[in-house]
Chain A
Amino acid sequence: MIALENIAKSYSRGDVAIPVLNGVSLEIDSGQFVAIMGPSGSGKSTLLNIIGCLDRMDSGTYRLDDVDIGSTSDDELAVVRNGKLGFVFQLFSLIPRINARRNVELPLVYAGVAAAERRRRAIAALTRVGLQDRADHTAAQLSGGQQQRVAIARALINEPAVTIADEPTGSLDTATSHDIMHLFTELHRLGKTIVMVTHEPEIAAYAQRVIHLRDGVIERDER
């Protein structure tokens, strides 16, 4: 379902172009739980951003569910993200002013779902991550682990094909990290496709496939 072919991407710093990805080809099947690892500067976040349709590649082709992502406009990409992708970020996963339920509802707001339906589905998603009694709390009133669980509930609410997780446990303590990973494992068991970036081997160990990136190329693909 995710098919990357010969993806290249570089950033320009002043006059110098710094290559980040040097021809990455990769296929991820539906239902896989994939971890992307690598030292900093290896290009793992850039790869994740391209898979998540947050960034564009310089060359190569990317097909997501047979949609050619390279040739879509910004607004079409927004629709793809809204309908096919869910996101869990390391930091600033929630909008601070509004409560957990409203944060979870956001993808549905942009999808144009009616308020009553949004509310029902948001409560259901929060229940799935065990936070139904925190629906009215704002981010400031939630712990780091709870915030990530709200973010996971939000990533699930539009029933996305793929969940994109960028260091989802990066700012959590060990016990909470494992709680979160149990949640991901459970989602995987239910058939979700998950693509996650991490630099911690024990977090990557939850995935069924680990892709090692170094200097913008795939070094190892462990299944």
Chain B
Amino acid sequence: MSYFRGGAYFRDMFEQALWALKDNRLRTILSILGIAVGITAVMAVGTVGKGGRHLIFNELETFGLKSVWIFRDFVEKDPRRAVRKGTGIDNGDYAAVDAGCCPAVRHVSPVIRDFTYRPSVRYGNQFAKSDLHGVNADYLAINNDNLSSGRPLRVEDEQRHRRVAIIGPEVERDLFGGSRSAVGSEIRIDDQKYLVVGVLAMKDRGFLESIGSAGGERTNSRVLIPYTTYQQMRGNDEVTFLQVETKGLDYTGAAIAQLKGVLKRRYGDQYAYKTISMEQYIETAGRILKGVSVIGAIAASVSLLVGGMAIMNIMSTSVLERTREIGLRKALGARRRDILLQILMEAVLISAIGGIAGIVLGLLASVGLALATGFPVLPSWWLLAVAFAVSISVGLLSGYYPAYRAASMQPVVALRYE
């Protein structure tokens, strides 16, 4: 037997549903509102989750997503041993890693930094704060750094201990004020003359810096000089830490093991080492985003639950009020499925209207948020589809019980209902 008799039949059902909803205008509007709020919340969760991911990953990328740092752990774990001097890493270790003894490592740069030493940088009578790094030619690539002008450091710069520098955009602004080109100018770092050969492009770590997770580095105030030049100034061949780029995100563990292995072979147990990997940060960021999403999802679920209960309530009341009508329809030949479909269609109509209203509200809210805060991402089509599917599901779930009750009525009982 053909139950669903094509478009005309559905159109009839749809019209019946519309009539019924118009009869209970206030209750219909309230239920629609309930669903709309829930769907708006779903949209907000999706948008914040996606926008947050975009924002955080954009900033994490400024460290190089495949970066691993290894440096000496100065906390001596064995209290009977005196604390040794030195960073525990020198040019020999760098050379070993650079020569390819660690297969999981693609690039490596020695980095010399002195966290207690912030030399003044001067051009004429202009001064700038700086964050001085001694690095090699691969450093820029490892850190996803670009130059806004000039040239990168070259291997000859290292070999000849040249006094050349690449300066960050904030250093350039403070020293040159945008009035003239920094490249080709001579600046003084602690009264030593350096030739500016390049200027770093601006990097945005606003969010990470605002939550104190940028590693204490003022990225746009960096001044990069050849590590050999820095070592000459300090009078030794120590390296503060090695920064490596692994062959891929899956190689982090292998790279750490290989780096530690190299150092262990050279120094035995003389020093302890610590590593930091971007993988850890990516995982932490993922966990935080997931936490935010879960909280948001709970809030959205609660409001959808309330909206669904409102629909169940309005549909139950409406079914009760129309008991005689349902009896009459059954007397005239309506089968269970005809009644079930009609009531379900009413519920889905409410939730679909609520869903569309919620999607519109959610879009407006995220556009507003984007304009107000510069939050980078708008909801995707995928999110819209999910939000709409959720609202339809809520209608189906909450309409099913009232529809089932209506469909199960015996015609004689329904007709006799006062």
A→B interface (CB under 8 Å): 49, 52, 54-55, 74-75, 78-79, 81-83, 87, 89, 92-93, 95, 97-98, 106-107, 109-112, 114-115, 154, 158
Most buried by A among B20, B23, B332, B410: B332
In residues 355-414 of chain B, which contact A (Cβ within 8 Å)?
A: 410-412
Interface assignment of B210: CB less than 8 Å from any CB of chain A = no
Residue contact B5 to A112, C-beta cutoff 8 Å: yes
Q: Per a CB cutoff under 8 Å, which of A78, A89, A98, A115 touches B330?
A: A78
**What is the interface of chain B mostly: helix, strand, loop, or mixed?**
helix
In residues 318-340 of chain B, which contact A (Cβ within 8 Å)?
A: 324-325, 328-338
Residue contact A74 to B331, C-beta cutoff 8 Å: no
Nearest 5 A/B pairs, CB to CB = A82-B333, A112-B5, A110-B333, A55-B412, A54-B412
Residue contact A114 to B333, C-beta cutoff 8 Å: no
Residue contact B329 to A115, C-beta cutoff 8 Å: no
With A89-B415, A95-B325, A115-B8 as contacts: A110 and B331 at CB distance below 8 Å? no
Q: Per a CB cutoff under 8 Å, which of A54, A79, A92, A114 touches B8?
A: A114
* Bound complex: CA A115 to CA B325 (Å): 22
Instruction: Mark contacts of B23-59 with chain A using CB atoms, 8 A cut-off: 1 yes-contact digit, 0 otherwise.
Output: 1000000000000000000000000000000000000
Cβ distance A42 to chain B, nearest Cβ, rounded Å: 17
By a CB distance below 8 angstroms, the chain A residues around B19 are 97-98
Cβ distance B336 to chain A, nearest Cβ, rounded Å: 6
Question: Which residue of the partner chain B has the closest CB to A75?
Answer: B335
Q: Per a CB cutoff under 8 Å, which of B23, B334, B411 touches A110?
A: B334
Residue contact A74 to B336, C-beta cutoff 8 Å: yes
By a CB distance below 8 angstroms, the chain B residues around A154 are 332
Cβ distance B17 to chain A, nearest Cβ, rounded Å: 11
B→A interface (CB under 8 Å): 1-2, 5, 8-9, 11-12, 19-20, 23, 324-325, 328-338, 410-412, 415
Residue contact B9 to A78, C-beta cutoff 8 Å: no
Q: Per a CB cutoff under 8 Å, which of B2, B23, B329, B411 touches A54?
A: B411
* Bound complex: CA A106 to CA B2 (Å): 18
Q: Per a CB cutoff under 8 Å, which of A92, A98, A110, A114 touches B332?
A: A110
Cβ distance A152 to chain B, nearest Cβ, rounded Å: 13
In the assembled complex, 23 residue pairs joining A and B whose CB atoms fall closer than 8 Å, in A order, are A49-B412, A55-B412, A74-B335, A75-B335, A75-B336, A78-B335, A79-B333, A79-B335, A81-B331, A81-B333, A82-B332, A83-B333, A89-B328, A89-B415, A92-B325, A95-B328, A107-B332, A109-B9, A109-B12, A110-B334, A111-B333, A112-B2, A114-B8
By a CB distance below 8 angstroms, the chain B residues around A49 are 412
By a CB distance below 8 angstroms, the chain B residues around A75 are 335-337
By a CB distance below 8 angstroms, the chain A residues around B333 are 78-79, 81-83, 107, 110-111, 158
By a CB distance below 8 angstroms, the chain A residues around B325 are 92, 95
15 further A-B contacts with Cβ under 8 Å, apart from A52-B331, A74-B336, A106-B332, are: A54-B412, A55-B410, A78-B336, A79-B1, A81-B411, A87-B332, A89-B328, A89-B415, A92-B325, A92-B328, A95-B329, A107-B332, A110-B338, A112-B2, A158-B333
Question: Which residue of the partner chain B has the closest CB to A97?
Answer: B19
* Bound complex: CA A223 to CA B386 (Å): 70
Q: Per a CB cutoff under 8 Å, which of A89, A93, A107, A110 touches B335?
A: A110
By a CB distance below 8 angstroms, the chain B residues around A92 are 324-325, 328, 415
* Bound complex: CA A174 to CA B412 (Å): 28
By a CB distance below 8 angstroms, the chain B residues around A83 are 333
* Bound complex: CA A98 to CA B332 (Å): 15
* Bound complex: CA A127 to CA B327 (Å): 27
* Bound complex: CA A109 to CA B339 (Å): 12
Residue contact B415 to A78, C-beta cutoff 8 Å: no
Question: Which residue of the partner chain A has the closest CB to B3?
Answer: A112
Question: Which residue of the partner chain B has the closest CB to A89?
Answer: B415
By a CB distance below 8 angstroms, the chain B residues around A115 are 8, 11
Cβ distance A150 to chain B, nearest Cβ, rounded Å: 13
Question: Which residue of the partner chain B has the closest CB to A84?
Answer: B333
By a CB distance below 8 angstroms, the chain B residues around A93 are 328
Residue contact A54 to B332, C-beta cutoff 8 Å: no
Cβ distance B327 to chain A, nearest Cβ, rounded Å: 8
Cβ distance A195 to chain B, nearest Cβ, rounded Å: 14
By a CB distance below 8 angstroms, the chain A residues around B415 are 54, 89, 92
